[in-house]
Structure 1
């Protein structure tokens, strides 16, 4: 029995360390030895070019639910994108907004900057949820490429040009940009997404980028498969359904989606609960992607998403095994270290004054994420829904 407990503890600890440290180091090493080859782009500089004729047609769909704060800035940003106007169609899909999002959007499209942009505002009377909006509007699109973007994310002006060059490779089905923030450099969330961008870069070098960020991503319309109405993390499931078909999802670091809206600690935890429920859902529904035939995709899916989902359970196994083996010095020390670590995280989360300590802040952010991962995953297994969601309606579009 003691041998079994030791093995369980050591294996669990090894997997946790591999997910947090080993996997990023492995990707970093691979990225340095086989750097990502970026496509060359001849920029238009907002002038018509003979190469415009071969650029694909793009439909940019922006689902919006009560986005009065950002909607006008988003429309102005889209109007500033450097792409042939005859090749770009923009749809602002207002999904049963109860604020003045629609009115502000209608005012914005009348501004001079939007004069030559094909901008359409669709005002759905009732809130149906982001998935219903995506399914309907992508199916109705006639363009070669579809782009989805959150209202609160601004796009770099050459985004569509770079993406169009990437799609010249017929194997590319999805293009995923770099996600960044405008917040203070001390933001835990910003540090986390910088870390994720590094992971994405390593996965891209391996040729196995998994998922996208909902702030902005593009895909071939012909490869789209309607999402199940209860899909939680659409920005992961949609791209992976395209990967299933034998295409690749690539990470393009020169395309930037800049987040404007900063989450409070309370809102951030709720968001992470919803995402964690989606992580459980996507692993269950895309479990076949762990099969060896998917090679590098199976490796990154397991090392990234699979182990992240398992981490809270592995942490519990480590703690219980250390407690049961605490009569030996090594495992007693391991138990004390775990108690100290969790106590630091709880103290930092409970006392905002401690968040100025960078180490404690990082520990707290990571532990809060694993707690959300556990609660959100269990909630989904028991109810099949996101936390705080009625079965017939998605309350928030930005998940």
Structure 2
């Protein structure tokens, strides 16, 4: 029994370390090795810029419509080649009437709310431009975003372009937005390295683009439409390019309860995606893409959080069973300290006391707990594509 626990303990440590740190180190080394042999070549903009559709799926976004439209008008792309399309299915507030004052945009509306994926499926039937850029109503794009995305598509091997998601972090931010901001900075670095090695592993719905002809309708209960859509394009033999020069900025979640809604739904969507992208688990068929997908996504959304939380009790048993062997004792103490810091961060956040250094252990623990909760969310919401929106912090 003790021998089994020792094996489980060391395998768990290896997988947890590899998932959150080791893969990043390995990825960095592989990228440096590749680019030393084959330096990346800069891409030039096409002489004749193509028509592009900026596609915004929105539900009850009256508070943000004006700011989003102001942002759309500030994009540095020929106005006669940029089509702005909103699809507002199910909206019951003033979203549609506010959009009606903009004559140069197209609005598709259906009173029935079926969820974002169903709205995407319906709206994409009407898109005729060669490229479609997806963005959320509550995210603001940098002026050069569309130009930089079009630049990436000059590589004919690129079927999808993932923009960078940036969290607006201010001094007043809480643990949710502060922790989320740190997480996305690290995640953005991994995405960039993934892309430089071969392909980014998925795209975030805040900003990504596809060759319109590659769009394939998805099941309406799909929770992570951006992830499924982008990876199915990669499975067709195209690459997902990561473009940090095209970015979307949004506020962090209003509080940790609102952030939990997002993380649980994303975790549930991750589990759903693993099942629906089963062929991608086969490295003999998809090679390097499978390696990246398993290392960067599958482990995080499946066994790693389970092993992470098993480490503490297994470690305690081994400490007692081996009569306080120094190695097991030191690792146990380090785990206890880490969780005490996470608990302290949680306690201070509830009292509105901001200690940013504690956001990281708090958010890391919180994020992995929500992966476990994602299983129950998926079971409860099976067959449903709608969800309750998480409120964002005031900008």
Q: Does 1:51 align with 2:47?
A: yes
Q: Distance in 2 between matches of 1:38 and 1:61?
A: 30
In the TM superposition, what is the alpha-carbon distance from 1:262 to its structure 2 partner? 4.2
The number of equivalent residue pairs is 376
Cα gap change, 1:125 to 1:39, in 2 (>3 Å): farther
Q: Distance in 1 between matches of 2:63 and 2:260?
A: 22
Q: Distance in 1 between matches of 2:32 and 2:215?
A: 33
Match of 2:375 in 1: 377
Q: Does 1:145 align with 2:148?
A: no
Cα gap change, 1:299 to 1:312, in 2 (>3 Å): same
In the TM superposition, what is the alpha-carbon distance from 1:243 to its structure 2 partner? 0.7
Give 5+ residue unaligned stretches, structure 1.
Answer: 43-49, 111-117, 386-390
Secondary structure of the 1:51 match is coil
In the TM superposition, what is the alpha-carbon distance from 1:371 to its structure 2 partner? 0.3
Encode CA deviations 1:46-83: one digit per residue, 9 max, x unaligned: xxxx933xx32212210111111211111121122222
Cα gap change, 1:84 to 1:225, in 2 (>3 Å): same
Match of 1:47 in 2: none
Secondary structure of the 2:243 match is strand
Q: Distance in 2 between matches of 1:104 and 1:136?
A: 22
Alpha carbons 1:354, 1:361 under 8 Å: kept = no
Give the TM-score, by structure 2 length: 0.88
Cα gap change, 1:384 to 1:261, in 2 (>3 Å): closer
What is the 5 A alignment of 1:95-110?
95-107=89-101, 109=102
CA RMSD after TM alignment: 2.3
Alpha carbons 2:114, 2:220 under 8 Å: kept = no
Alpha carbons 2:43, 2:154 under 8 Å: kept = no
Select 1:75's aligned residue among 66, 69, 73: 69
Q: Does 1:287 align with 2:278?
A: yes
Match of 1:206 in 2: 197
What is the 5 A alignment of 1:345-356?
345-352=342-349, 356=354
Encode CA deviations 1:123-157: one digit per residue, 9 max, x unaligned: 32222211111001112211111111100111122
Encode CA deviations 1:320-351: one digit per residue, 9 max, x unaligned: 32233222223344334333322331232133
Cα gap change, 1:205 to 1:175, in 2 (>3 Å): same
What is the 5 A alignment of 1:306-317?
306-309=298-301, 310-317=303-310
Cα gap change, 1:335 to 1:207, in 2 (>3 Å): same
Secondary structure of the 2:105 match is strand
Alpha carbons 1:82, 1:160 under 8 Å: kept = yes
Q: Distance in 1 between matches of 2:389 and 2:58?
A: 7
In the TM superposition, what is the alpha-carbon distance from 1:260 to its structure 2 partner? 4.2
Cα gap change, 1:172 to 1:355, in 2 (>3 Å): farther
Alpha carbons 1:279, 1:377 under 8 Å: kept = no
In the TM superposition, what is the alpha-carbon distance from 1:38 to its structure 2 partner? 6.3
Secondary structure of the 1:351 match is helix
Q: Distance in 2 between matches of 1:354 and 1:86?
A: 49
Q: Distance in 2 between matches of 1:163 and 1:337?
A: 44
Q: Does 1:64 align with 2:58?
A: yes
Q: Distance in 2 between matches of 1:250 and 1:38?
A: 14
Give 5+ residue unaligned stretches, structure 2.
Answer: none
In the TM superposition, what is the alpha-carbon distance from 1:216 to its structure 2 partner? 1.0
Select 1:238's aligned residue among 229, 239, 245: 229
Select 1:224's aligned residue among 215, 220, 224: 215
What is the 5 A alignment of 1:130-279?
130-184=116-170, 187-260=178-251, 262-279=253-270
In the TM superposition, what is the alpha-carbon distance from 1:92 to its structure 2 partner? 1.2
Out of 341-350 and 140-149, give the one that drifted further.
341-350
Cα gap change, 1:396 to 1:259, in 2 (>3 Å): same
Select 1:37's aligned residue among 20, 40, 45: 40
Cα gap change, 1:393 to 1:170, in 2 (>3 Å): closer
In the TM superposition, what is the alpha-carbon distance from 1:163 to its structure 2 partner? 1.6
Secondary structure of the 1:25 match is helix
Q: Does 1:320 align with 2:317?
A: no
Q: Distance in 1 between matches of 2:163 and 2:377?
A: 31
Give the TM-score, by structure 1 length: 0.87
